[in-house]
Copies of this chain bind each other. A is one copy, B any other.
Amino acid sequence: MDWSKHYAERLSLMGHSEVAQILELTSRPEVISLAGGLPSPDSFLLEETQEEAISVFRDLGSASLGYGPTEGLPPLREALAERMTLKGRSSGKGEILLTTGGIAALDLICKALLESGDFVIIEEPSYLAAIQVFRSYGAQFLGIPTDQDGVCLDALEVRLDELIASGRRPKFFYIIPSFQNPSGNCLATERREKLVGICNARGIPIVEDGAYEDLRFEGEFQSNLASIDPEVVHVNTFSKIMHPGLRLGWINGPDVLIEKLALCKQGQDQCSSTSGQHLAERFLRKGLVEQQLRKSRAIYREHRDLTIEAFKENFPKESLASRPQGGFYCWIDLPEEINTVRLLPEVVESENVAYVGGSAFYHDRDMGTNQIRLAYSFVSGDKLKDAVARLGRFFQSKLSA
């Protein structure tokens, strides 16, 4: 059978995926990968995870192995509602939907809201896997430029009004306000309320990705957008506060929307892992999430410092790096003559170091060709420092050549 004749149009929009390339690069043992956004294995609470997993099993037996409700286990939804409330978004259980990770959460939101051809507003650069999800629903993109204080509000207003004036309506604004992927920057506090105001005035829903917001290791607490306006749809994941193998995330939003998203989840995967949800609930209830977060922040601060230090010592003088106060990523601008996308195979070959080239984070792949994202989260110590240094010297050699 010639399968290519049977594929849906959306497949051609999804095209080649950098995620697959990143995972492939990571799989070669000799390559030090600063590509994928993997949490540090040192951040995991191994012993506690094992103990709690055993106790879930001992306490619940076969009940931990069956199906659960589509919306998620009630005690876990309650624990998450409490957590969101503590962070400033007063929430009840009915405003929480458990999902099979953060990407699954975005998939559900698209399923509920997006028609093919609809516009999604994104920061540029933005999370490449999210762009992939939106593409799989036939989305078009309105990319808004960012600076070190996050998305530029003047540009947002102008471009939004242009789009609306042309008769097209953006469906939602997808934004990562804290320790953004890939830039590592935060949306400035004074921009947060304004941003919500701009979107509200135009009736445009905001989808906030809070994946990294608990990983601040420097600077002052900032309220997330959901705390500013409970209509904001907040997406989050256990991958960064517990571990990715759980495959658990959640959506916090208005209960009418959560109901519709649960309907969509029935057609996505019916329910998320029962034993995993029990484990997550115990981690939240017993303060283990907070314990792990303290450990994580110390690790990532150290990794950030090593990265910045090696950057300063080895990258071409004309380069510019973000200085993240939390999260996993450092974003580097290189001189324009450096094409980071084209150079990637060579640098992997000659230096055994991998990064993600900047254009993966733009909907227009001609952008970002002199930028790179370094994920400093996974690799540690001298290995991290050495990898960043090798990258810097490699790019320097290309300039001198």
Contacts of A7 in B (CB 8 A): 112-113, 260
A104→B99 CA distance, assembly (Å): 13
**Other-chain residue from B23, B112, B274 in contact with A8 (beta carbon distance below 8 A):** B112
Stretch at the interface among A10-18, A153-161, A345-353: A10-18
Q: Does A289 contact B (CB under 8 A)?
A: no
A23-B69, A49-B65, A256-B3 given; A268·B104 CB < 8 A:
yes
A172 vs B65: C-alpha distance in the bound complex, in angstroms?
Answer: 33
A6-B113, A254-B3, A268-B103 known; A11-B244 Cβ under 8 A: no
Q: Does A276 contact B (CB under 8 A)?
A: yes
Question: Pick the contact of A6 from B1, B116, B171 — CB < 8 Å?
Answer: B171
A270 CB contacts on chain B under 8 angstroms: 19, 101, 103-104, 129
A189: interface (CB < 8 Å): no
Residues 125-152 of A, flagged 1 when their CB comes within 8 A of B and 0 if not, give: 0000100110110000000000000000
Which A192-206 residues have C-beta < 8 A from chain B? 203, 205
Q: Within the assembled complex, what's the spacing in Å between the Cα atoms of A89 and B345?
A: 38
Query: Is A183 on the interface with B (CB-CB < 8 A)?
Result: no
Shortest CB distance A71–B (Å): 9
By size class, the interface of chain A is: 35 or more
Q: Which residues of B contact A64 (CB under 8 A)?
A: 245
**Assuming A36-B67, A276-B273, is B267 touching A136 (CB within 8 A)?**
yes
Copy number in this complex? Answer: 2
For residue A269, CB closer than 8 A to chain B, the reply is: yes
Contact of A69 with B27 in the complex, beta carbons under 8 Å? yes
Complex Cα distance, B233 from A130, in Å, reads 28
Q: Interface centre among A17, A129, A263, by most B CB within 10 Å?
A: A263
Distance in angstroms from A44 CB to nearest chain B CB is: 5
A371 within 8 A of B: no
Q: Does A62 contact B (CB under 8 A)?
A: yes
Q: Are A17 and B266 in contact (CB under 8 A)?
A: yes
Q: Which residue of B lies closest to A1 (CB)?
A: B231
Closest chain-B Cβ to A174's Cβ sits at a distance in Å of: 14
In the bound assembly, the distance between CA atoms of A9 and B273 in angstroms comes to: 29
> Would you call B14 and A132 a contact (CB within 8 A)?
no
CB neighbors of B among A331-371 (8 A): none
A-B pairs with lowest CB-CB distance, top 6: A41-B62, A65-B243, A245-B274, A136-B267, A65-B245, A104-B269
Interface positions of A (Cβ within 8 A of B): 1, 3-11, 14, 17, 19-20, 23, 27, 36, 38-39, 41-42, 44, 46, 49-50, 53-54, 57, 61-70, 100-101, 103-104, 107, 111-116, 129, 132-133, 135-136, 171-172, 203, 205, 231, 239, 243-247, 254, 256-257, 260, 262-264, 266-276
Given contacts A41-B63, A54-B54, A244-B274, 17 further A-B contacts (CB under 8 A): A3-B257, A5-B203, A8-B111, A17-B263, A38-B66, A53-B57, A65-B244, A68-B245, A100-B247, A100-B269, A103-B269, A104-B269, A107-B267, A116-B116, A135-B267, A245-B273, A245-B274
